[in-house]
Structure 1
Amino acid sequence: MTAIRSNVADYREAARRFLPRFAFAYLEGGAENEITLRRNRAAFEALAFEPRVLRDVSTLDTRTTLAGQAAAWPAVVGPTGINGLFRRAAEEALARAAQKAGLPFALSTASTSLLEDVRNVTEGDLWLQLYVQQDRRIAENLMARARAAKFSTLMLTVDTPVLGQRDDYARTGFAMPVRWTPALLWDLATHPRWLAAVGIHGQPRLVNLSRSARLGAGIEDRTGTRTHRMDLTLNWRDVAWLRRHWQGRILLKGIQGASDARLAFAHDVDGVVLSNHGGRQLDGARSPLDLLGEVVADAPRGAEVFVDGGIRRGSDIAKAVALGARGVLLGRAPLYGLAAAGEAGVTDVLAMLHKELQTCMRLLGCPDLSALTFDLLTAHGAAAAREAAAA
């Protein structure tokens, strides 16, 4: 009998049961002591609602625009890497589910599906998340391919010159290429459903990097490109280099302070994503949600501010929008659905979050997104937003 899953947490538990320990640790884990990982979630929990009653909420409108494109609600299925660990053709499944939900899908440079294959399965809005390697011709080729495939938006990740220290990798034996140990073999043997659906097909491949680098397609070849060979010279002047190669909108993902947000807008980007990489990079960083009010207050007219990290309920999306976010990026939540039940699981997770957002808006007395304002929230984050707006 199929278990009833009523929320994202239920899908997380189903994903945990399905995945080998090393794969779930890769999905779920954070950097070092996971202070930042916990802080992301705690920031949402610290905000309390102050609803308005006796408001007409007989009709409800969650529609918005994200990076200039229409979206059914204020969320993006965000970029996540090596998703082939969870299901085959993972990015195709994520992209189709995003289109059905009326949302953009952001494809990671570290995807295990070709961007052209993703475009072939969806007519939805696609964004390219970009890592820049020492050989910048790789990034230039990725951008050219994405333009040809009609991707609308480029999202440069700026918080990953090197990988953060992730202790769970050592604890569970996660490594690419795989290092075969008795513990890993036992991990695989005790997860036969994953072996039959995923593991039997071999290691996932970072095929987009491989194609653009014109090198071997094995993940063992390309992991070095993503980490040790990342371009450590990348700096603010390189936004102009991006503009020469990308005519669409450009967002910077991984902004972790108001001063860097101001610098981003001074360099003429179209928007920023406040993000600490889901707590996977620098442990001890602030929660993006706690930065949101200050950054929004300083943003120039027309610039868009997105936020990610710790979003597990539709009410979390309402809180982010009330603090001024254009929208949120969903990372782990869709992946729980993907691992637990493939594309159907992603579709269900997105439908749950949208329904929860709608319920929350009605209970707050908000018939549309413009009614979601910071005066509906109480706590330090909302207080900071009020002060910034009054300044």
Structure 2
Amino acid sequence: MSAFRFHLRAPAPRVSVADWRNAARKRLPDMAWSYIEGGADDLVTVEENMRGFLEHRLRMRSLKGASAPAMSTIVAGTELSMPLALAPVGATGIAHWTGDIAAARAAEKSGIRAVLSTASSYLLEEVSRATEAAHWFQLYPIGGRARIAELMGRARAAGYTALFVTVDIPVLGNREGERKWHFQLPWSVTPARGLHLARHGRWVWEALRHKRMAAVHFLETTGENSARTRPPGAMAAAANSSAALASQIQADLCWDDVKWMRDQWDGPFYVKGILDADDAAHAIDAIGAEGVVVSNHGGRQLDRCLASIHALPQVAARVGDRAEVLLDGGVRRGTDIITALCLGATAVLVGRSFLYGLAADGEAGVSSVLEIFREEIARALTLMGCSSTASLGLNWLARRTSPAD
């Protein structure tokens, strides 16, 4: 009788952000994926955020002895182990119930920092108590000056050392993927949706059990200890918090309001959502910001605006000699980060990339994504013959030649 041998193949290791993206896609239902991966209108800006990096080529110098490149940098007065931080992302509990706490813990273990969103799934005080490092806070200017002042005061009291004010959301972008899944309305469970959710039982169970899908700061009335009770059901909570955000947006926000916020905050201050060099100069020279974040909200606001990487060179040329210039949008590889630094960025923020790891494996997944970035940066710098990220500049970009040259 012949013997049968069974070979159980171990899961393939996840060695790239793309691998973590694939794992996240398998775990999440379409309604959650539409929020994480979607954008505005035709997704032109979402795609150009990533494709824009591919237009550049890195210079490679041989026999330079750059075997252990230095990667640390300073952002907001904090030394980071690499020129990278976690971008503010709202409702991270949709990806995994551990959400913002898991992401911040992974960041500090990697020697970097997270920017906590006003639309977080955990209160800013909860994240502060659950972490050891002093992270940074992103402010949506919502609800008028009294509400804004309260959020800034709470962030300061909780130990957040830098403030990032988002200015590119006078109205919510046309996010058609979310609209098709009624993301901003109470989600009704039709037979088709019920069948779909049944294929993602673990996600549904964790969502219903932990109820961490809401943007909690939009559901409270005032202060940490008021209005803490979330609406029944995680799905309804997420929908209600989205509606709450839309209802509290200040469409008439202007530079005078941002200057008032700058005057109220006594630490490093950044304006996030800048694509124009004139706006960057105004943020630094008139507002007194320490830096700007070149960002189009991940392509979720105005479609067909400039990709972040395309806007970066002009902004960096205008204010890079006297302010920190961060880039947010489309970063999926360590070579993307190197390209951004060559074009004038001080560091980059990553959003969707860490969400993939979070969705697939919680805190451990975020840590793995960050270490992939670290390894890719170090490997690429070594192959380039560059001794440090601080040495990067336009001279490290190579000109592509055509056959006619």
Q: What pairs up with 1:168-247 in 2 under 5 angstroms?
A: 168-202=177-211, 204-211=213-220, 213=222, 214-215=226-227, 217-218=230-231, 219=237, 220-247=239-266
TM-score, with length taken from structure 1: 0.92
Provide, for residues 361-389 of structure 1, a one-character-per-residue CA deviation record: whole Å limited to 9, x for no partner. Answer: 11111111122121221369xxxxxxxxx
Change (3 A) 1:11 1:294: same
Q: CA deviation at 1:104?
A: 1.1
Q: Give the corresponding residue for 2:340.
A: 320
Runs of 4+ in 1 over 4 A off after TM superposition: none
1:43 paired with 2:52, answer yes
Cα RMSD, aligned residues only: 1.8
Q: Give the corresponding residue for 2:313.
A: 293
Q: Give the corresponding residue for 2:96.
A: 87
1:108 paired with 2:106, answer no
AA of the residue aligned to 2:317: A
Q: Give the corresponding residue for 1:345.
A: 365
Q: Give the corresponding residue for 2:25.
A: 16
Q: What pairs up with 1:269-308 in 2 under 5 angstroms?
A: 269-299=289-319, 301-308=321-328
AA of the residue aligned to 1:260: D
Q: Give the corresponding residue for 2:5.
A: none
TM-score, with length taken from structure 2: 0.89
Unaligned runs of 5+ in 2: 1-9, 232-236, 401-405
Take 2:240 and 2:204, find their aligned partners in 1: how far apart are those partners? 23
Q: CA deviation at 1:302?
A: 3.5
1:133 paired with 2:156, answer no
Take 2:21 and 2:121, find their aligned partners in 1: how far apart are those partners? 22
SS in 2 for 1:227: helix
Identity %: 39
Equivalent residue for 2:385, pick from 332, 344, 365: 365
Q: Give the corresponding residue for 1:388.
A: none
Q: CA deviation at 1:173?
A: 3.6
Equivalent residue for 2:267, pick from 248, 255, 259: 248
1:54 paired with 2:74, answer no
SS in 2 for 1:65: strand
- Of stretches 11-20 and 130-139 in structure 1, the one that deviates more from structure 2 is 130-139
Change (3 A) 1:304 1:364: same
Change (3 A) 1:15 1:199: farther
Equivalent residue for 2:126, pick from 96, 100, 117: 117
- Of stretches 343-352 and 189-198 in structure 1, the one that deviates more from structure 2 is 189-198
SS in 1 for 2:186: coil
1:374 paired with 2:394, answer yes
Q: CA deviation at 1:11?
A: 0.5
- Of stretches 139-148 and 11-20 in structure 1, the one that deviates more from structure 2 is 139-148
Q: Give the corresponding residue for 1:385.
A: none
Take 1:340 and 1:365, find their aligned partners in 2: how far apart are those partners? 35
Change (3 A) 1:248 1:366: same
* Larger CA Rg, structure 1 vs 2: 2
C-alpha contact (below 8 Å) 1:338/1:346 kept by paired residues = yes
Take 1:235 and 1:175, find their aligned partners in 2: how far apart are those partners? 27
C-alpha contact (below 8 Å) 1:163/1:227 kept by paired residues = yes
C-alpha contact (below 8 Å) 2:262/2:288 kept by paired residues = no
Q: What pairs up with 1:146-165 in 2 under 5 angstroms?
A: 146-165=155-174
Q: Give the corresponding residue for 2:77.
A: 68
AA of the residue aligned to 2:315: V
Change (3 A) 1:47 1:300: closer
Provide, for residues 4-46 of structure 1, a one-character-per-residue CA deviation record: whole Å limited to 9, x for no partner. Answer: 2111001001000000111011100111000101111111011
Unaligned runs of 5+ in 1: 381-391
C-alpha contact (below 8 Å) 2:85/2:349 kept by paired residues = yes
Q: CA deviation at 1:201?
A: 3.5
C-alpha contact (below 8 Å) 1:173/1:184 kept by paired residues = no
Q: CA deviation at 1:139?
A: 1.8
Q: What pairs up with 1:256-267 in 2 under 5 angstroms?
A: 256-266=275-285, 267=287
